[in-house]
């Protein structure tokens, strides 16, 4: 979903690689992008992106406000249980940079005491390492 929002409502299939090669670097299979499909109106995506940018500036992820290029994020805490004991999972998902995003990043930290605050520093470190 974050990828669709970052692309102004257009779904683009994701691949971790462009092709498979053998030991001699001969291409075995090439993966081509499939047809793009608009799933959410660009207007709605613009609004959601603005909300996500504000989360990284003045909201629950304001520790990200100084990232060069800015970002837009949504944070959260998911409650679960393990052996009848309540546990939290902190998460953050977002796009980077905020204008013409190149990356969509999602971080989940299981069994944390800090909720979404545990995932935010990891998101920041990833953004700073790929800029």
Q: Tell me: the pLDDT tens digits for 66-75?
A: 999 999 999 9
Provide the CATH number for the domain around residue 66. 3.40.710.10
Residue 50 and residue 6: Cα distance in Å, rounded?
11
pLDDT classification of 37: cutoffs 50, 70, 90:
confident
In this structure, is residue 97 part of a structural domain?
A: yes
Residue 28 and residue 31: Cα distance in Å, rounded?
10
Residue 77 and residue 81: Cα distance in Å, rounded?
13
Helix, strand counts (H, E) of the chain:
3, 7
In this structure, is residue 47 part of a structural domain?
A: yes
> What pLDDT is recorded for position 22?
85
Instruction: Count how many domains the chain has.
Output: 1
Residue 129 and residue 22: Cα distance in Å, rounded?
30
Residue 115 Cα to chain centre, angstroms:
17
In this structure, is residue 23 part of a structural domain?
A: no
In this structure, is residue 26 part of a structural domain?
A: no
In this structure, is residue 25 part of a structural domain?
A: no
Range of the domain at 8: 2-15+33-130
> What pLDDT is recorded for position 115?
67
């Amino acid at each position: 979903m974050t990828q669709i929002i970052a692309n102004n409502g257009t779904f683009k299939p994701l691949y971790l690689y462009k092709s498979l090669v053998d030991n001699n670097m001969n291409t075995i299979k090439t993966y081509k992008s499939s047809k793009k499909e608009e799933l959410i109106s660009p207007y709605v995506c613009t609004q959601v992106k603005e909300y996500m940018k504000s989360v990284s500036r003045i909201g629950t992820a304001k520790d990200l406000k100084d990232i060069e290029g800015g970002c837009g994020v949504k944070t959260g805490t998911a409650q679960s249980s393990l052996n009848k004991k309540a546990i939290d999972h902190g998460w953050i998902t977002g796009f980077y940079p905020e204008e013409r995003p190149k990356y969509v990043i999602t971080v989940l930290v299981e069994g944390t005491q800090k909720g979404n605050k545990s995932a935010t520093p990891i998101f920041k470190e990833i953004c700073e390492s790929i800029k």
